[in-house]
Structure 1
C-alpha cells in the first residue's frame, strides 16, 4: 500500500513532469530539423505516429491528471485555476493525438477545362502492381534518407532502392518493323579530353536534331538528287557550327559541315572520321541502323552529376527472374511475365474523396490602376454522387468552405495558367475540433482564474458590509434609576 502511494505521488510529481517536458521539447526541436531533410511524411511516420512518442505524450497526460486529482477538493481561485488549466492541457493532448492519427489532408489540382476530380494528393509515395487475373495491389513506400526503401518485397517485386534524380536515356537497336534510320556519332576533342556519343534518328522526331553547346547537328532525308544537292549547300547556314547528315535516295549517307574554317561536304561511311572545323573536334560515324527500334532506359544520376535533361524520382525494383529495372515517377512500366503482361507504377499517394469537385471559373482581381494581384477566387461545384446533390461555392484566401466534413481552402494558383487552381482539403472528426477548442478555452480560463481570481475574490470580500456587534441585553428586573436613600 505504501509503495502504491509513493508511485502515485511520483506519477503526479514535478520530478516526472520536468524530464518529460524536456524530453518532448527536445524531440520536437529535432523533429523540425529532421523534417526539413526527409519531409513531413517520414517525420509523421517515424516520430509523431510512433508508439514511443505516443507513450511519452500519454505519460505526460497521466502526470497532469494525477497531479490535478491529488489536489482535490479544489477550493480557492488558485486551486480551481490550477485544475482548469491542467484539464485543458489534457484535452489539448488528446485532440492533438486524434488529429495526428485520424485526420486526412491533401492537395487537389483543378482545371476549368479538366472536368470533375475526386482524388487528392497526400503525403507519401505508393507502388501499384497489376497482374493478369488479379486486382491491382498498392503499398505505401517508405523512403529513408540513405535511399533505402521498405517494404523490401511486394507483389512479386523486390524493392532495391530509390533515386531522387534519374533521367530517361534513349538508345536504338536493330529489329524495327519499319524503316527508321538511326546513326550514332562519336565526338572527341584531345584539347578538352572529352568524348561524347549521341544518336540521331528519323523517329522519334525529337531525335532528328541535336544541340551540343554552339554546335547544331541534324539528320534529314533527301527525296531526289536535286534535294540532296540543295541540302548539302550550306552557304546560307544560320548556325555558326552546323553538321547536317543527309540520307540519299540510294541509302548512302552524306555530310555537310560548316564552321569558322569553312564548309566541307562528302560521303560518310561507318567508321570514317571527319573534322568539321570546330577547333580540334573530330566526329566519327560509329553506327548505322536502317530499321531501328527505340529502347528507353531510366538511369539514376550520381551525386553531383548534372542532368542532361529533366530529372525525376525513380524506384529500383527487381523481378523474380533477377532482372532489374527502374520505375520512373508517375509513369507505368510494363513487361511480359510468366502469366502475361504485368504493369507497375511508382507515384504519388492518392486519396479518393466521397464527392467530386469541379472548377467552374478562376477569377483574379487586381488592384485598380496596377497589375498587382488583390485577390484570387475559385468558383467550384461540389457534387455528392450518393445523394445526387450539387452545390456551388466560392473559395478564396482565408475564406474556406466546408462540405461533407471536409474543409476546402485556397492553397495556390499558377500566374501563367489561369485555368488552374490548387485547393487544400482537410478532414477531421467534429469531436476532435471540439476537444481542441474546449482544451484551449479551459487553459485560458484556468490561467485567468489563477492570476486574477485571488484579487477579484479579495475585492468582493471588501465590498461585503462588516457585521455590527450585538447590542447589550437589557435587564427588566433592574430599575431604570436607583432610588435616593433617605436618612432619618
Structure 2
C-alpha cells in the first residue's frame, strides 16, 4: 500500500500526466479552430477519458502533498498550490455535472420566463390516445446513422430516428399528394434575357402571393362561377385609378392591402392579428414644410401614404414614400412594433414595373385561368397546361408546365459543411422511419425547431424537435434592441438590449437593465450575456439573443486559480523573504547567546 501511494504521488507520474494534459490542450485548440466549440466540447472536454485524466491529476496532486505530511513551514507554498489545483478540478466537475447553458431569444416588446437549453428534445404525441413520449438527444456535431432513438407508442408501432445531420442543407420541391387540399402549379417564365421555373403552392387563405423581380405572381382559389366571372372581368387596381398598394410586415406576418380614395377614412383591421390601420392621408406630391407633411401639388411626383398603426401596445404613425421606400425606417427613431412599410402608388409613370401582376386562379372543378395586369391593359382566359401565354410586358411569356390538384411541399436534406462551425447558419435535422408490424411504411424529415403533424396508419401524430425548455422563475422583457455598425458600413459593431427584469417571488422586483457585450446581467443563479440578434427578411434587427449560463462551480474555479497564484508567489517570492528573515533571526539569536560568555571571559 505504501509503495502504491508513493507511486501515485511520484514526480515521474506527475510529469507524465502534465505532459499528456498539455498535449490534449494543444490538440483541442487546433481542433476547435477547425471544427468549432461544439465539436471540441463533445469530442474532448466533455468525454469520460478527459474526466478520467483530470481525476488522475487530482490523485497525483493529493498523494504528492500527503507524502510530505506533516508539512513544514517552508512547504506552505507547495501545499497551497496543490490545494488550488484540487479545488479548481472539483469546481470543473461541479460545473460539468450541474451547470446549465442555453439562450434566450427575444423579439422587441416580448417577455419570457424560460430559457432554451443547449439540450435537444424529440417529442412524439398521439392526441387521440393521450400519448406523449419525449427523449433527450445527445447526438453531437457529427453525421450519425443507425438506431439513434426509438419510440414505441404501442406494441405494433415503432418510430425510429435513423439519421442525424448536425448541419443540414434544405432543398424544397412541390410534389403530388392525394391527402393534400392545396393545389400546386409550376410556371416557366421566359423573355429574351432570362428563363426560370417557379412553383406556386396554394395555402389555407386561398391566396398565395410571390414577388419575382419587378413582377408579382398571385395564385387564387375561386369558390364558384360568380367568383370566376368576377376574376376575369373585374378591373385591376390601376384601371380603377386606385391610389396604390400597401405592403406591411410586423413580426414576420405579411399583409398586402389595396388603397383607394374611399378607404382613406376607414379603419382597416389586419386579418389574423390585433392590429388596425386608421387615419390615412395620401399625398400625390409630398413635401415637408415647417415639420409637417403637405401636398405640394396634384401631380404624381412624390406620392406618399401616412397612417396610424394601432396595436396592443398603443399607436404609432408611419409614412411611406413610393420613390424612397427606406425613408420612413431610416428616420423613425423609436418603435414598438418595428413594422416594415412599403407603399406603391398606381400610375403608369411611377414605378410602373411594380404594377406588372400575373393572376392565376383555380376553380372547384380544377380548371385554371389567368389574368395579366399591367399599367396599360388586362388579358385573361383559360390556361391549358403546356401552352405559352404572353404577359404584355417585358416580352415575358409564361407556361403552366405542371399542375397538381393535390400538392404539398417536400423538403429534402443533405449534409452541409459550414465555413464557420461556431456560426453555421444551418440547423440540425433528423430522419424518422415509421414501422407497422415491423414493416417500414412512412418516412419523415424533421428540422430543428419544427413541429410537424403526420398522419400514419390513420392516426394523427405530432412530432416536435425542439430545445429543452428550462424555467427561470422570473421574466425578462425586451423593450428595445439596438445594433451599432462600423462607420460607413452595415457591419455589426455593438449590440445593446434594453430589458426589464420582473421577479414577483423576490418582492415584486421590476428593474430596467442594459445588457451589452461587456456588461452581462446576473440575477439569482443565472447570468445573461449579449450574444447575437434576430433579424427580419430584409436583414433589419428586430430582436436580441442572450446567452444564459448557470455555473455552480465558478466560485471554486476562481478560488482554485487564486490559491495556485498565491502558492506560486509563496514558493518563489515570499519564501525567499521568509528564509532571509529566518536566517537573520537565527543570527541575532546566536549573537544574544554569545554575549554573556564574552562578558564572563573578561
TM-score > 0.5, shorter chain as reference: yes
Question: What per-residue deviation string (whole Å, max 9, x for no partner) do you get for residues 361-419 of structure 1?
Answer: 559799xxxxx9897543311233xxx8532344445363332xx13334257597998
What is the Cα deviation at residue 101 of structure 1? 1.7
Distance 1:363 1:266, change over 3 A: closer
For residue 238 of structure 1, the aligned residue among 342, 352, 365 is 352
The equivalent residue for 1:123 is: 118
- The question of whether the paired residues in 1 share the 8 Å contact of 2:147 and 2:160 is answered with no
Candidates 500, 509, 534, aligned match of 1:391: 509
Q: State the secondary structure of the residue aligned to 2:24.
A: helix
Aligned equivalent of 2:265: none
Counterpart position of 2:267: none
Alpha carbons of structure 1 residues 37 and 98: separation in structure 2 relative to 1, 3 Å: same
Could you tell me whether the CA contact under 8 Å between 1:183 and 1:199 is conserved in 2? Answer: yes
Deviation, 1:136, is: 3.7
Deviation at 1:121, TM superposition (A): 1.6
Counterpart of 2:566 in structure 1 is 445
1:92 pairs with 2:88: yes
Matches within 5 A, 1:295-310: 295-300=408-413
1:62 aligns with 2:59: yes
The aligned length equals 445
Deviation at 1:450, TM superposition (A): 1.0
Normalising by structure 2, report the TM-score. Answer: 0.60
C-alpha distance after superposition, 1:296-353 (max 9, x if no partner): 3222257599xxxx97543211111421111132221122345842211112232233
Describe how 1:2-17 pairs up with structure 2 within 5 A: 5=3, 7-17=4-14
Distance apart, 1:24 and its partner CA: 1.8
Cα distance in 1 for partners of 2:63, 2:8 equals 7
Point out the more displaced range, 139-148 or 439-448.
Answer: 139-148
Matches within 5 A, 1:255-334: 268-274=383-389, 283-288=398-403, 292-300=405-413, 312-321=427-436, 322=440, 323-334=442-453
1:313-462 equivalent positions in 2, closer than 5 A: 313-321=428-436, 322=440, 323-337=442-456, 340-353=459-472, 355-359=473-477, 361=479, 377-384=498-505, 389-397=507-515, 398=519, 400-403=521-524, 406-412=525-531, 414=533, 420-429=543-552, 432-452=553-573, 453-462=575-584
Distance in 1 (CA, whole Å) between partners of 2:368 and 2:453 is 37
Other structure's SS at 2:90 match:
helix
Please say which of residues 327-336 and 59-68 is displaced more in the overlay. 327-336
Cα pair 2:148 2:163 within 8 Å, conserved? no
Deviation of 1:55 (Å) = 1.3
- Note if contact 1:330-1:347 (Cα within 8 Å) is conserved in structure 2: yes
**Given that residues 378 and 410 in structure 1 are in contact (C-alpha distance below 8 angstroms), is that contact kept between their aligned partners in structure 2?**
no
Equivalent-residue separation in structure 2 for 1:357 and 1:195 (angstroms): 49
Q: Which residue of 1 aligns with 2:489?
A: none
Distance 1:389 1:128, change over 3 A: farther
Give yes or no for contact 2:170–2:413 (8 Å, CA) kept in 1: yes
**For each residue in 1:420-473, what CA deviation from the matched residue of structure 2 results, as whole angstroms up to 9, or x when unmatched?**
5544433344xx445334323321221122112123331354266322331465
Query: What is the CA–CA distance in structure 2 between the aligned matches of 1:356 and 1:458, rounded to whole Å?
Result: 58
Quote the Cα distance in structure 2 between the aligned partners of 1:420 and 1:209: 26
Q: Quick one: structure 1 residues 241 and 271, their matched pair in 2 at CA, closer, same or farther if it must change by over 3 Å?
A: farther
Measure how far apart 1:16 and its partner are: 1.7
Gaps of 5+ in 1: 367-371, 476-488
Structure 2 unpaired stretches of 5+: 153-157, 240-346, 419-424, 485-492
Take 1:239 and 1:304, find their aligned partners in 2: how far apart are those partners?
A: 40
The answer to whether the 8 Å contact 1:171/1:199 transfers is no
- Give yes or no for contact 1:143–1:149 (8 Å, CA) kept in 2: no
Equivalents in 2 of 1:31, 1:375: separation in Å? 32
Q: Is residue 183–residue 407 contact of structure 2 (8 Å, CA) maintained in 1?
A: no
Q: State the Cα distance separating 1:158 from its structure 2 match.
A: 1.3
Gap change, CA 1:422 and 1:24, over 3 Å in 2 = same
Instruction: Report the CA distance shift for 1:34/1:317 in structure 2 as closer, same or farther (over 3 A).
Output: farther
Query: Counterparts of 2:187 and 2:391 in 1: how far apart (Å)?
Result: 13
Q: Does the 8 Å contact 1:85/1:442 carry over to 2?
A: yes
Contact 2:232–2:371, Cα closer than 8 Å, also in 1: no
Give the aligned CA root-mean-square deviation in angstroms.
4.7
CA contact (8 A) 1:393 1:401 kept: no
Counterparts of 2:46 and 2:179 in 1: how far apart (Å)? Answer: 53
Do the aligned partners of 1:166 and 1:314 also contact (CA within 8 Å) in 2? no
CA gap 1:242/1:471 in 2 versus in 1, 3 angstroms: closer
The 1:53–1:408 alpha-carbon spacing in structure 2 relative to 1, beyond 3 Å, is closer
2: CA distance, partners of 1:150 / 1:210: 43
Which residue number in structure 1 is paired with residue 272 of structure 2?
A: none
